[in-house]
Structure formats: structure tokens, C-alpha cells
Structure 1
Amino acid sequence: MTFKGFTENTDNIETPNDINVSEKPLNTKKISSGRVDINVLKSKLEEQQSKEFRKNLFIFSFCVFLLGAIGVYLSL
């Protein structure tokens, strides 16, 4: 009975020598710096604040409801 180990199944895998290619950025396009409309920035900020306000209002109302439910439960 012959017992074969992992030593017979070794493969030599070499890494490629193209290190300079991997250091290049993926996007080669240059970003042009143009003017930005202040109204667009304001609308994005207002939209973000609106979402945050709705989330905070939901959390606050849930806590108030939870405290009310606990109060009713403990008073019985």
C-alpha cells in the first residue's frame, strides 16, 4: 500500500510582473471642475434633512408610544 501525501501535488504558481499596471487608477478620465448651482446643493441638503427629520420623528413617536404602553401596563 502506497501512501501519497500533498508533497506530490505541488504546483509552482508565479505572480505576474506587471506591478506598474496595477498601480494605475481605474478611471483615467480627468474630472473637470465646473461651476455648481447653489440651488441644487440646497435642494439636496433639504432632502437629506427631511429624511433625517422623518427618521427622528418616527423614533421619538415610537419611544413615546412605548412609554405610554408601559405606563398603562404597570397601572393595571
Structure 2
Amino acid sequence: MIALFYGVVLVLGVVLLVVTAVRVLVGGLEGGSGRPGRSGGTGGARQILEERYAAGELSTEEYQHRSRVLKEGQS
């Protein structure tokens, strides 16, 4: 029973190592949210804001306020 547990842990560790190696080789670890089109900076923040507004997660007032805050942050 314990050997089975260690076998599963070993397999999961190898899978995690392979996934991490592929991520590093493809695009690095920094700024990688794992979601395409999401980058750092206000451009990424604006895109996230627009996506949340389009999905109905934000009211028009919230969207306009946050949009102004992002615009002021660029100055």
C-alpha cells in the first residue's frame, strides 16, 4: 500500500517536472498566467477589465471608474 502511494507521488512529481520544463522552454515562468492574451502592464489590465465587463461581472459605473483609474495610472 505504501509502495503504491510512493509510486503515485513519483509519477506526479515527474509530470510536474515535465510540465514546468515545457513552460520554461516555451515562454518562461514570469508573467505566465497560463491564459493567452494576458500580459503584465496596463494593456493586460485593460483587456481583463473589458473581458469582465463583457461577461457582465462589472456594472457600467464600475467599468467606467476602473477604466479612468487605469488611464490615470498610465500618465
TM-score range, shorter chain: 0.3 to 0.5
| Rg (Cα) greater in structure | 1
Structure with greater proportional helix content: 2
TM-score (norm 1): 0.35
Q: Which has the higher contact order (CA 8 A, sep 6+)?
A: 2
